[in-house]
């Protein structure tokens, strides 16, 4: 059994402490397929529907695989930074067309 101090020093696979609190860095929505995404400071999330005002929540977005819901999409800010660092591809959060950009949240660990 590990002690509390050992758990406090434990890290995830990416080196972040387990106790790290994540944050939302950006929120983007698009009103139509191919429409530019626009940043919003805050938004209402509707369970099972998506983000109010986003094309998927309004029924105007259709992902090609009807078996999978795309109510909300997320990307890690750290993934964007790694893409720039390792491949020289710099993308701003909105350019990914993901709704929510997080920091300090291991998104792959949530699925």
pLDDT band at residue 66, thresholds of 50, 70 and 90? low
* Tokens (6 digits) for 99: 């709704």
Choose among 98, 94, 99, 95: nearest CA to 51. 99
Q: How many CB atoms lie within 10 A of CB 44?
A: 10
Own/partner long-range contacts of 50-53 (Cβ < 8 Å, ≥24 apart) = 50/99, 51/27, 51/99, 53/29
Residue pLDDT, tens place only, 11-41: 556 665 555 689 999 999 999 888 899 999 9
pLDDT band at residue 5, thresholds of 50, 70 and 90? very low
CA 77 vs. chain centroid, Å, equals: 8
Domains of the chain: 20-110 (2.40.33.20)
pLDDT at 71 over 50: yes
Q: Rounded to two decimals, what is the model's pTM?
A: 0.74
């Amino acid at each position: 059994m590990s002690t509390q101090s050992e758990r406090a020093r434990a890290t995830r696979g990416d080196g972040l402490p387990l106790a790290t609190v994540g944050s939302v860095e950006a929120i983007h929505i698009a009103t139509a397929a191919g429409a530019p995404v626009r940043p919003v400071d805050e938004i209402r999330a509707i369970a099972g529907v998506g983000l109010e005002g986003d094309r998927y929540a309004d029924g105007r977005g259709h992902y090609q695989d009807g078996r999978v819901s795309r109510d909300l999409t997320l990307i890690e800010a750290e993934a964007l930074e790694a893409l720039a660092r390792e491949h020289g591809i710099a993308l701003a959060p909105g350019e990914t067309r993901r709704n929510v950009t997080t920091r300090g949240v291991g998104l792959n660990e949530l699925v």
